A = this chain, B = another copy of it.
Amino acid sequence: MSGVVVRNPPRADQEVVDGLAACGVSTVHEAQGRTQLLDPALRPIYAGARVAGTAVTVSVPPGDNWMVHVAVEQCRDGDLLVVAPTTPSQAGYFGDLLATSLAARGVCGLVIDAGCRDVADLTRMQFPVWSRHVSAFGTVKETLGDVNVPVVCAGQWVRPGDVVVADDDGVVVVPRESAAQVLAAARAREAKEAVSRGRYAAGELGLDVNAMRERLARKGLTYVDAEETR
């Protein structure tokens, strides 16, 4: 049943993609109702990257990275590669050669629910990768998989053309159809948080900034002095 490469899937609007990257993972995740965050076990191989791209998806067999080579050809400027093995694998599917190839095509990063290697080189190249493992363990090239079909990656459903946002907080996927709307919500949240941040920095409390005191009291919150509890 495997062995299909889908060409020319729909692409997300690059302006929306860039806007989502600027907002970052935590804000985007909140803006779409706290959904579609990938398993936090996926970590960046170096700190400080923040990217978003249109997902090119790859379904790979365990320990076999052949289809990653196939997928590179389907990538364009602004894409982000998403690799999901059909069963858990710690193998190092990806290293500096594939990164060189992807960088040459304008791909902004890789999200992989498996292992990555050559991390010192990738850090030098500043090619960002979010992976479950760092592992030198090599892969074979024996079995087909699929490119640009929907995949489950680290617990989330990712379709080719969806937007994937990744930074030091993790990885979130935004469906292409709702991306513009999520961006608007994310920006609104950012604007609101900027105001709150100023008030917090000035010493105001979240209890007051968010008007929480009355609801807390209704729920039964009580204050006692330590003296009284002895």
Contact = CB atoms under 8 A, between A and B. Distances in A.
Size bin of chain A's contact surface? 35 or more
Contacts of A227: 8
One complex includes copies of this chain to the number of 6
Given A62-B62, A117-B26, A148-B226, A97 B200 contact: yes
B87 A6 contact: no
A216 B67 CA distance: 9
B7 A197 contact: no
A157 B167 contact: no
A170 B216 contact: no
Contact of A119 (B69, B100, B168): B168
B3 A136 contact: no
Contacts of A35: 1-2, 86
A92 interface: yes
B9 A226 contact: yes
A150 B229 CA distance: 12
Contact of A48 (B25, B29, B69, B120): B120
A223 B229 CA distance: 31
A144 interface: yes
B123 A203 contact: no
A10 B172 CA distance: 30
A188 interface: no
A78 interface: no
Contact of A90 (B40, B66, B92): B40
B63 A135 contact: no
A7 B224 contact: yes
Counting from the closest, the 5 A-B pairs by CB-CB distance are A40-B135, A69-B206, A101-B200, A34-B138, A1-B33
